[in-house]
C-alpha cells in the first residue's frame, strides 16, 4: 500500500506514531475527506472486496464507498502504521427493535501498541456516527460532538447505543462480537447489499460526508446540509444538478 498517498487523500499530515491520539486524528480526517456512498450500486457497477481495487477507487479516483470498502481499506492503512486491527461483523439495528444478520456491517477493533490506551471501536463506514474511536468499555458513557455513546456487553455480545442530545432516548446502532474475521468473510453480504431489492443500498442514491460544521448529504434528488445544528434541504432540479452537487460538495466526478 502507498501509505503516503492514502494519508494525502484524507488530508492527514500529522504524526504517524501508532497511539490513541494518532488513531483519533486519522478517523476524524477520514470521515471529513471520504464520503459514505452507494453510487456505483445504483449505476449497476459491481463492487468487489479487492484491496488493490479499493485503493484505486477510494484513493486514486477519490471516491467513497460503504462499510466493507471504507473500513476494509482503513484497516489496511492502520496495520501499515503499526496498529493491531481486527475485522468485526455486526448486525445493524432495525426499526422494529431487531438486528440485521451477521456481516450486515463491518466495524473495527483496534489495539495500539503495548502500553497505549485501548482497545478501541473504530468505524469510518457507518455514515453519520461517532467521529472519534470509542473505548471498548461496557456501560461507560462517552460523549463527543454533542452526542453520547454507550457500549453494553452480555454473554460476549456487544451493542452500541447512541443518544443524540440531552434527554433523548438511547438508540441501538449495531451489535457485534469480538470474533475476528477475514476480509473475504464479508463477500456474501457485500453481494446481497448491492443486489437484493430488500437492501436499503439498492433503494436509493446516497452520498454523505462529515464537514467541520456538520454534514452534507445527497439522498436521491435531495441535498441536505446541517451546519451548527441548523438543517436545510432542497430538491435538485435535474441529474445534471446532481452531477454538479457531487463534484462541488463531495469532490466526486463519476466516470462513465
Nearest to 58 by CA among 46, 73, 43, 39: 73
Residues in the chain: 256
* H runs (alpha helix) in the chain: 3-9, 20-33, 39-42, 51-55, 67-80, 187-195, 239-250
Q: List residues with catalytic annotation.
A: 67, 105, 123
**DSSP character for 149?**
E
151-183 burial: b if 16+ Cβ within 10 Å, else e? beeeeeebbbbbbeeeeeeeebbbbbeeeeeeb
What is the residue whose three cell numbers read 463477500?
187
Q: How far is CA 186 from CA 17, 30, 73, in A?
A: 30, 22, 13
Q: What is the dihedral of CA 134, 4, 210, 174, to 10 degrees?
A: -40
CB atoms closer than 10 angstroms to residue 14: 11
Q: How far is CA 17 from CA 59, 77, 124, 144, 231, in A?
A: 22, 13, 20, 23, 38
CA–CA dist 68, 175 (Å, integer):
16
Amino acid at each position: 500500500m502507498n501509505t503516503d498517498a492514502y494519508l494525502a487523500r484524507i488530508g492527514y499530515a500529522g504524526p504517524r506514531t501508532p497511539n490513541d491520539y494518532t488513531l483519533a486524528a486519522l478517523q476524524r480526517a477520514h470521515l471529513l475527506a471520504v464520503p459514505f456512498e452507494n453510487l456505483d450500486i445504483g449505476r449497476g457497477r459491481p463492487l468487489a472486496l479487492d484491496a488493490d481495487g479499493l485503493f484505486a477507487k477510494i484513493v486514486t479516483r477519490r471516491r467513497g464507498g460503504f462499510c466493507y470498502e471504507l473500513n476494509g481499506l482503513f484497516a489496511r492503512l492502520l496495520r501499515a502504521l503499526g496498529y493491531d486491527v481486527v475485522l468485526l461483523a455486526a448486525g445493524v439495528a432495525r426499526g422494529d427493535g431487531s438486528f440485521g444478520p451477521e456481516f450486515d456491517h463491518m466495524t473495527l477493533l483496534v489495539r495500539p501498541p503495548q502500553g497505549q490506551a485501548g482497545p478501541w471501536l473504530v468505524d469510518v463506514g457507518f455514515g453519520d456516527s461517532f467521529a472519534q474511536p470509542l473505548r471498548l468499555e461496557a456501560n461507560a458513557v462517552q460523549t463527543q460532538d454533542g452526542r453520547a455513546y454507550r457500549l453494553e456487553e452480555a454473554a460476549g455480545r456487544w451493542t452500541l447505543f447512541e443518544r443524540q442530545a440531552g434527554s433523548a432516548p438511547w438508540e441501538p446502532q449495531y451489535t457485534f462480537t469480538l470474533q475476528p474475521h477475514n476480509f473475504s468473510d464479508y463477500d456474501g453480504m457485500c453481494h446481497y447489499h448491492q443486489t437484493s431489492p430488500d437492501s436499503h443500498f439498492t433503494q436509493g442514491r446516497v452520498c454523505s460526508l462529515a464537514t467541520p460544521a456538520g454534514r452534507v448529504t445527497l439522498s436521491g434528488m435531495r441535498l441536505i446540509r446541517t451546519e451548527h445544528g441548523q438543517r436545510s434541504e432542497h430538491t435538485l432540479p435535474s441529474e445534471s444538478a446532481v452531477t454538479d452537487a457531487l463534484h462541488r460538495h463531495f469532490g466526486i466526478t463519476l466516470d462513465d
